[in-house]
């Protein structure tokens, strides 16, 4: 909770403080917008780097209210508490989250570790889930009582956490984030910025919201390569894990943006007319340690008035890095005339000294059914936390062995197989296909990225789907619940209109359309059993 709170705090401080640097006045005084852009590029987090090196913190989360019809279904969670301790040692590339829970009379103690690229969970994590009706071992060949003390999941993407920590230690945000923020600010019209002798102000109204969107979309088209660079750099690990070449993704994204048709101002106005900008103001003092405030008050409504809502954000920060105090508030409302009325409010106060940080937060949630006037949920949460730099901290991370640990993916089966590639077969070959117990005359193949591909029509029709070919390059997969469109030699595809991405693009092979096996497991919920020389697919 402390780590999560620290990340949220860092995000809010980024929004506030990236605009607060003070610069010398040259022969020609910079404009207010110039000051903001330079401040972003020279942004300093302003916190002791020790918080991102060796630190620990503890806190408590308590349910103060739990009422409504949901209580009749789940039971009463009032008075439930979670006490936790978070420790981090960047030198070890290790982090530990330990907890002590008391929920509805049930108590648990457990821990979650992060080391290098491994997420390690103690057995109690799964016992805790069972108390909430989630049995991760329900379909496992091993019962939870037979499972080892530690279960782990290795994922190279987790290494990115330590790279970010290194950036924070230098007092900087990752470069791709500052580039993204600067790109967004550049799109805001100059007239939204003002400069006085004591402060810089940025203010958006309804018209300037439209102008900002027009400018942003135009910039994305004109600077497509820059946008593609930012987008891919913020998700490099994800693309690599999906088997995609980041450089190729940059080229594809840039090409798509460059050919994008920018909506007209009138079209954008039609959309933004559903949003009411009551207030969007950011101010920061030019005096060192002066106040910085952000106030956002937005409303929205459906064209027919059946749904309305609001979003409010308030941030108020003052002080220097060794004596920083502030508060932030997030509030949201959603009201459907023939559905629920939801009100959410989150408030937090925080303070930082050079070596200690503390925060107190309150969350209130109220949900009512407008059709019956019945209260569905009245929830209250309070939390407090204190964290401090601890230069002598040495984390006791468990040493994993074959006897005391196991890979989660081997213990807990998932539906289907995500990707099977050439390297998984001792001798790559085309497999005989058996679909829902029927042996097909056609065989599998291998795509350009090394993934197994199968003939689309033969396999999909045997799985109960209708397959249509739409000129010039579209394969439609149809069922009562889904309309899926795939495209020859394209990684993107759509499911009921929502765009998704494949690792391996569909292709043509000896006159047949071949689709990747991962698509069948991901979208059609099919199970795969690879037992050479047969590849068995069932749904």
CATH number at 522 reads 3.30.457.10
More confident residue, 479 or 158: 479
Does 337 score more than 80 pLDDT? yes
At CA 389, angle to CA 386 and CA 395, rounded to 5? 100
Does 426 score more than 60 pLDDT? no
Report DSSP state, residue 113: E
Distances (CA, A) of 431 to 202, 388, 420, 449, 454: 63, 58, 12, 17, 9
Report DSSP state, residue 421: B
pLDDT at 364: 98
SS3 content of the chain, % helix, strand, coil (to 5): 30, 40, 30
Task: Record the pTM.
Answer: 0.66
Does 486 score more than 80 pLDDT? yes
As a whole number, mean pLDDT of residues 6-12 equals 44
Compute the distance between CA of residue 77 and CA of residue 131 in angstroms, rounded to an integer.
13
The verdict on residue 242 lying in a domain is: no
The verdict on residue 488 lying in a domain is: yes
The verdict on residue 459 lying in a domain is: yes
Residue 251: exposure state from Cβ atoms within 10 A (0-12, 13-18, ≥19): middle
- Rounded to the nearest 10°, the torsion over CA 175, 176, 180, 186 is 40
The verdict on residue 134 lying in a domain is: no
The verdict on residue 522 lying in a domain is: yes
Report DSSP state, residue 306: S
pLDDT at 210: 93
Backbone angles phi, psi at 441, to 5 degrees: -75, -25
Model confidence at 4, pLDDT cuts 50, 70, 90, reads: very low
Answer yes or no: are the C-beta atoms of 9 and 387 closer than 8 Å. Answer: no
The verdict on residue 230 lying in a domain is: no
The verdict on residue 94 lying in a domain is: no
Number of domains making up the chain:
1
Does 429 score more than 60 pLDDT? no
Model confidence at 504, pLDDT cuts 50, 70, 90, reads: confident
Flag the least confident range among 406-415, 433-442, 520-529: 406-415
Does 281 score more than 90 pLDDT? yes
289-305 confidence digits (pLDDT tens): 888 899 999 999 998 88
76-87 confidence digits (pLDDT tens): 999 999 999 999
As a whole number, mean pLDDT of residues 115-143 equals 84
As a whole number, mean pLDDT of residues 112-130 equals 90
pLDDT at 188: 93
Q: What mean pLDDT is reported for the chain?
A: 83
Strand partners, 446: 452
The verdict on residue 516 lying in a domain is: yes
Enclosing domain of residue 481: 422-538
**Residues 6 or more apart in contact with residue 48 via CB below 8 angstroms:** 321, 354, 355, 389
């Amino acid at each position: 909770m402390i780590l999560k709170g620290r990340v949220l705090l860092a995000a809010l401080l980024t929004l506030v403080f990236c605009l607060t640097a003070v610069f010398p006045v040259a022969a020609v005084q910079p404009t207010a917008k110039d000051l903001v852009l330079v401040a972003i590029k020279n942004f300093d987090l302003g916190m002791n780097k020790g918080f991102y090196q060796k630190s620990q913190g503890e806190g408590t989360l308590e349910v103060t209210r739990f009422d409504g019809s949901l209580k009749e279904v789940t039971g009463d969670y009032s008075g439930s508490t979670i006490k936790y301790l978070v420790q981090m040692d960047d030198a070890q590339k290790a982090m530990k989250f330990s907890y002590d829970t008391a929920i509805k009379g049930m108590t648990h103690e457990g821990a979650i570790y992060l080391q290098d690229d491994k997420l390690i969970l103690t057995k109690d994590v799964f016992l805790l889930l069972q108390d909430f009706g989630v049995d991760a071992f329900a379909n496992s060949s091993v019962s939870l009582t037979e499972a080892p003390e530690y279960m782990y999941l290795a994922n190279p993407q987790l290494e990115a956490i330590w790279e970010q920590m290194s950036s924070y230690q230098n007092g900087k945000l990752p470069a791709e984030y500052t580039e993204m923020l600067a790109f967004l600010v550049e799109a805001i019209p100059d007239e939204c910025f003002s400069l006085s002798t004591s402060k810089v102000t940025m203010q958006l109204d309804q018209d300037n919201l439209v102008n900002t969107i027009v400018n942003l979309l135009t910039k994305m088209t004109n600077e497509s390569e820059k946008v593609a660079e930012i987008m891919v750099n913020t998700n490099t690990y994800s693309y690599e894990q999906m088997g995609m070449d980041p450089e190729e993704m940059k080229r594809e994204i840039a090409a798509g943006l460059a050919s994008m048709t920018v909506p007209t101002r009138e079209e954008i106005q039609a959309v933004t007319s559903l949003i009411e900008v009551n207030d969007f103001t950011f101010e920061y003092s030019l005096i060192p340690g002066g106040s910085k405030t952000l106030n956002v008050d937005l409303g929205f409504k459906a064209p027919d008035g059946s749904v309305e809502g609001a979003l409010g954000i308030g941030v108020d920060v003052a002080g220097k890095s060794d004596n920083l105090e502030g508060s932030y508030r997030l509030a949201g409302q959603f009201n459907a005339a023939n559905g629920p009325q939801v009100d959410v409010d989150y408030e937090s106060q925080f303070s930082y000294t050079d070596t200690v940080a503390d925060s107190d937060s309150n969350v209130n949630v109220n949900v009512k059914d407008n059709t019956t006037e019945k209260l569905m949920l009245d929830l209250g949460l309070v939390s407090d936390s204190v964290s401090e730099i601890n230069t002598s901290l040495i984390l006791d991370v468990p040493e994993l062995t074959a006897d005391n640990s196991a890979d989660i993916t081997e213990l807990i089966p998932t539906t289907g197989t995500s990707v099977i590639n050439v390297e998984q077969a001792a001798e790559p070959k085309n497999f005989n296909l058996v679909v829902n117990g029927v042996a097909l005359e056609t065989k599998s193949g291998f795509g350009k990225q090394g993934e197994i591909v199968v003939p689309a029509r033969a396999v999909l029709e045997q799985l109960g789907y209708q397959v249509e070919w739409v000129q010039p390059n579209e394969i439609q997969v149809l069922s009562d619940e889904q309309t899926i469109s795939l495209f020859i030699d394209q990684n993107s595809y759509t499911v009921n209109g929502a765009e998704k991405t494949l690792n391996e693009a569909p292709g043509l092979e000896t006159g047949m359309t071949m689709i990747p096996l991962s698509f069948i497991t991901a979208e059609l919920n099919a199970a795969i059993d690879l037992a050479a020389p047969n590849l068995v697919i069932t749904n």
